[in-house]
Amino acid sequence: MASLDVIVDKLVVLWRIPAVRQKFPWSFLLISVVGSVLKELEFVPQTYFSSSKNALNVYFVKVSWGWTLLLLTPFLLLSNASFNRSVSFLARRLLSLVVATAVWYVCTETFFYIEDVTGSCYENSLVKVDYKEFTSKAVCRRAGFHWVGYDISGHSFILAYSTLFIMEEIAPMSSLNTTSLSGLPRKVLSLLYIALNLIMIIWVWMFTCTSVYFHDPSHKLLGTICALLGWYLTYRVWYVKPMSPGLPPQRHPKEQKPHA
């Protein structure tokens, strides 16, 4: 248990640094731009991660939103309940998961739609298939052909958005005294916190691999911008207002200054 506390404390100290939280979101734009330049110049050699069949992509990235919700839901409940156990407060905070899922769904479905309406079906990289029934990527690929459209990078979007979503929701650990919790809840919360930080490392790494190995520059940049907009409009604009899921608690209620 002591080793868990040491790891948690080091991670908390890192996220307490104002510059880390302020600059971290914008690092995705930098990675996307630099990675795209390196890809176009072919500076980065082919590696295990240049194949879409690598284990991290198949078992994590392909179901990244599932991993994010699987780890974040119990963490959100445990950490937020340490500040306020009221059902209304916890239900309101859980709405942030619903909102984030809606952002993920709307954006990814929009990306699919754009790819469909801008694309065409090709028998190979040069020969276009001129059949009216092949009007979507799904139909074209089921027929064994290749669809070419404006493919906004869903990987760039979901990996950046998931990371920023987790970053915001693990904030309560910065002011939560885990030593005041009983044995099992304390251990579970610590393990979830460490797991969420590890999954963020995986998401950032795979975002970097996407930037240097896949997609056209504009596809990746637009996917990244959509992720930043989804995060910014919720956590920096909407959630600071009363009629919203609210920001994650970062000070214990007893430490809050009374309002007039």
- Assign 3-class secondary structure to 218-240: HHHHHHHHHHHHHHHHHHHHHCC
pLDDT in the model for residue 255: 46
Instruction: Work out the pLDDT band at 174, boundaries 50, 70, 90.
Output: confident
How does the average pLDDT of the chain come out, rounded? 89
User: Region 146-151: what's the mean pLDDT?
Assistant: 88
253, pLDDT greater than 50: no
User: Region 52-68: what's the mean pLDDT?
Assistant: 95
Q: Is 219 a catalytic residue?
A: no
How far, in Å, CA of 9 to CA of 194, rounded? 10
The active-site residue out of 146, 155, 252, 259 is: 155
- The string of pLDDT tens digits covering residues 5-36 is 899 989 999 999 999 999 999 999 999 999 99
Q: Is 215 a catalytic residue?
A: yes
Judged by average pLDDT, the poorest of 63-67, 99-103, 187-191, 202-206 is 187-191
pLDDT in the model for residue 191: 95
User: Region 131-146: what's the mean pLDDT?
Assistant: 81
Which residues lie closer than 8 Å to 104 by C-beta, 6 or more apart? 65, 158, 161
Q: Which residue has the tokens 């694309």?
A: 119
**Tokens found for residue 260:** 């007039």
Closest C-alpha among 228, 249, 197 to residue 13: 197
pLDDT in the model for residue 137: 86
